[in-house]
A and B are shown apart, each in its own frame.
Chain A
Amino acid sequence: GAGVSQSPSNKVTEKGKDVELRCDPISGHTALYWYRQRLGQGLEFLIYFQGNSAPDKSGLPSDRFSAERTGESVSTLTIQRTQQEDSAVYLCASSDRGGRSNQPQHFGDGTRLSIL
């Protein structure tokens, strides 16, 4: 596709359930990023993939959060045993190259996650 695609666009679930969020980056982009944005707040870095490996997982807030990327394409962010403080918009971004490159990041529309 032309841009970064995320699904679902909205997810409402009960506290304690697991959720899986999906990101399809721009074709050919080797770098992929996940961010969390709470209402009215800035972007909180979660994890960065270069290809299928994740050289920077420093932003994952707890061991309930995990992410994987397969085929240097699709990535999934999994949140286990969701808590109300996990409610936020989860944004995915991709770029042509990662690491120290100067490439801009292209963002998807995000998944709005609401934990009841």
Chain B
Amino acid sequence: GQQVMQIPQYQHVQEGEDFTTYCNSSTTLSNIQWYKQRPGGHPVFLIQLVKSGEVKKQKRLTFQFGEAKKNSSLHITATQTTDVGTYFCAGRSSNTGKLIFGQGTTLQVKP
């Protein structure tokens, strides 16, 4: 069945360093969504990418959707302690329409 893999599982960075998490699907996606879950909280929708090669920015966060619509990345520039949490990608299968969540990347930021 369709799988969405996310790497790395964990990342520890010093405040001010950059951070990137990668999401790869075994099948072509119609779109991909990104969510952030703060410690002890629930996932909160960040953004959705639909077009091949699409790049979207939210302040220090840059989201990319691959040309083949099978992978995506989230890059955070100059991390801050408020960026701490787990970032999930969720890919929607072009075939089934089902939204599949990745396992998440947990970011720790040392002040």
| Residues of A that sit less than 8 Å from B by CB | 35, 40-43, 45, 56, 91, 93, 99-100, 102, 104-110
Contacts and interface: CB of A to CB of B under 8 A. Distances in A.
Overall SS of chain A's interface: loop
Overall SS of chain B's interface: strand
A108 B42 contact: yes
B56 interface: no
Interface stretch (B13-21, B66-74, B77-85, B98-106): B98-106
B102 A42 contact: yes
Interface of B: 30-31, 33, 41-45, 48, 50, 88, 90, 92, 97-104, 106
B45 A105 contact: yes
Contact of A107 (B31, B42, B97): B42
**Ranked 5 nearest A-B pairs via Cβ:** A100-B97, A42-B103, A104-B45, A107-B42, A43-B101
Contact of A104 (B33, B97, B103, B104): B33
